Amino acid sequence: MTIADSPSLEALPNPRGGAVPEAEAALVEARQASEAQLAVVGPLLRAAQALRQAGWLASQRFVDALVLVSPYANDEFLPRFRAALTDFHAALTRHNLRELACSPALFSHYRELNAQVARHTQGYVVAFEDLALTGRPIAPATLRETSGASLRVLRARYEQALLPVLKEHEGVSAALDELDACIAELAGDDTYDVWRLAGACARALRVSGRARAGDPDAKRFYARCNLLLAEQGQGVQLAPRSFVRAALASLWRDYALYGAAAEDADSVQILHDYGLTVDWHVAATQASEAAWEASAAQAEAATAAGAPAAGGSVARDLGALSVNVYAYEDFLQTADAAMAALAVGTDAAFAAATPDAAAAEHAGQAAYRLGAAAQALGLGHVALLADALGLAWRRQAYAARIGAASFAPARRPMEQAGEALRAMLLRVAAGFAQPDSAVPLALLVQAIERAVPAAAPAPSSSIS
């Protein structure tokens, strides 16, 4: 990650990414209506509908929050409402789906919007993962058996180190070192041992500086780890889904925004294990990132001026989504190759009674390539379904490696998801809007989240 070198830098814009012109225009109309003290609900609802059609579900959720809070956007809260509307519109024009899901600035607005609603209705609290992981399945993670005596000793060490971190006393760095050491001792070799995920999350919090700075989310993470220790001591085998979601979103945040470097390979591998992908990059300084962004801005300006030779291009409409025609053609080539590889891997994995781990891994990587390419183009529905299918194949490979069929998602939802992906891509290739992925995605999410050991209670499945 380069966040440690450039803490104030936002995610880069995506000049070749798809846009949702109707949503952008509706947000402009909503801003103008707010300034004129007119109703903003109508244009906001149009924006939400367009974003839903494009599959930009995290963005749709943000607009839904704007709609809910709009009746209370007056007096002292009105400037905050307008700031949220302005910043969200600015982020939307950058066409970066990962930024729209993981931006700390947008989440800060999202939390304030929901807090304002909660003051007037039944109270509720939102968390970062509610926005960042919208629509994504959460793979079950496990807690290995550990002797009660050793666990009690380790928890005593953990709690002693936790207090200075929570109270921001002197010696925070040493206390964080001790917390990291405890988490490392707890982590097993199993791919889905929850302490492996917790360890990667802790390292990301240290690298970003959030742990040392006393970030509230970092404090909550370390405090929640203490509760997880208590649950492990009580013999719990399946890690709480809420903990997995929070840790996963925290780990993904900076990589999603700033990309990953070679030294981040282990963390990226863990993200892949849980169905999330990131971009790799080599820019190492804020100056190089700024130069890239300036070049991207020039390309966008050239596009607006209609000068393809200068790096711009004509657009193609796919329903609510407007895409760069050259990026669209590149995507179709990537999608064709990925689907061919996915078909080969699927046939090989299911050819025998016992799934082939290597073939399942091959299919999973093909699905991830498709998901990353779709996300870059702005095809939100395709991206979500492809990433979920990649995770399902990742779990199939894992189940085959350890010889535990109960960890493998059911075959039929995976086949349905593959068929749905192919049908979606055929429509996109024909120049039509991508279909909504809600039904096959819901079935696949359920299959992934219910694939747990028979002795462990199955987590409740929901698309959040």
> Between 311 and 356, where is the model more confident?
356
Distance CA 18, CA 375 (A): 9
Q: At what angle do helices 411-429 and 438-449 cross, to 10 degrees?
A: 150
- The residue-averaged pLDDT of 41-60 equals 97
Average pLDDT, the chain: 88
pLDDT tens-digit profile of 393-428? 999 999 999 998 889 999 999 999 999 999 999 999
Question: What is the total residue count of the chain?
Answer: 464
CB 39 within 8 A of CB 297: no
Alpha-carbon distance 183 to 194, whole Å?
10
Query: Minimum mean pLDDT among 133-147, 175-189, 302-316, 339-353: which range?
Result: 302-316
pLDDT of residue 8: 40
pLDDT category at 296 given cuts 50, 70, 90 is low
Residue type, 261: A
| Bridge-based pairing state of the strands 315-318 and 321-324 | antiparallel
Whole-number pLDDT of residue 114: 94
Residue type, 340: A
Can you say whether the dihedral through the CA atoms of 42, 43, 48, 53 is positive or negative? positive
pLDDT of residue 308: 47
The ranges of the chain annotated as CATH 1.20.120.160 are 314-449
Q: Please say whether the beta carbons of 138 and 449 come within 8 A.
A: yes
For residues 284-311, give the mean pLDDT: 52
By 3-state DSSP, what share of the chain in percent is helix, strand and coil, each rounded to 5? 70, 5, 30
Cβ within 8 Å of residue 40, ≥6 positions away? 30, 33, 34, 66, 70, 73, 85
- Residue-wise DSSP of 334-392: HHHHHHHHHHHHHHHHTSSSSPPHHHHHHHHHHHHHHHHHHHHHT-HHHHHHHHHHHHH
Say whether 19 sits in a helix, a strand or coil: strand
Higher-confidence residue: 462 or 303?
A: 303
Cα(191)–Cα(273) distance, rounded to whole angstroms?
8
Q: How many helices (H) and strands (E) does the chain have?
A: 19, 2
Q: Where are the alpha helices (DSSP H) in 187-285?
A: 194-208, 216-233, 241-258, 265-273
Nearest to 29 by CA among 71, 63, 57: 63
Asked if the model's pLDDT at residue 128 lies above 80, the reply is yes
- Report the Cα 437 to chain-centroid distance in Å: 17
Tokens of 343: 């078909």
pLDDT category of residue 120 using cuts at 50, 70 and 90: confident
What is the model's pLDDT at position 146?
83
425 Cβ neighbours under 8 A, 6+ residues apart: 335, 339, 382
The residues near 117 (Cβ < 8 Å, ≥ 6 apart) are: 65, 68, 69, 72
Under DSSP, is residue 278 helix (H, G, I), strand (E, B) or coil?
Answer: coil
What pTM value is reported for the model? 0.90
Q: Which is more confident, 304 or 204? A: 204
Cβ contacts of 372 within 8 Å, gap of 6 or more:
277, 279, 383
> What share of the chain has pLDDT > 70, as a percent?
88
CATH classification code of 314-449 = 1.20.120.160
CA angle 114, 49, 321 (to 5 degrees): 120
Token pair of 12, please?
Answer: 């880069």
Average pLDDT on 431-450 reads 95
* DSSP class per residue in 12-28: PP-TTS-B-HHHHHHHH
* pLDDT tens string 360-400: 999 999 999 999 999 999 999 999 999 999 999 999 999 99
Examine the pLDDT at 148 and tell me if it is beyond 90.
no
Amino acid at 293: E
The number of C-alpha atoms within 13 Å of 280 and in the hemisphere containing its C-beta is 9
Tens of pLDDT, residue by residue over 211-270, are 998 889 999 999 999 999 999 999 999 999 999 999 999 999 999 998 888 889 999 999
Residue 96, pLDDT score: 94
pLDDT at position 461: 43
| Relative orientation angle of helices 241-258 and 265-273, to the nearest 10 degrees | 130
The residues, any chain, with a CB within 8 Å of residue 406's CB and separated by 6 or more, are 399, 451, 452, 453, 454
What phi and psi, each to the nearest 5 degrees, are found at residue 12? -75, 145
CA distances 82 to 78, 87, 160, Å, are 6, 9, 44
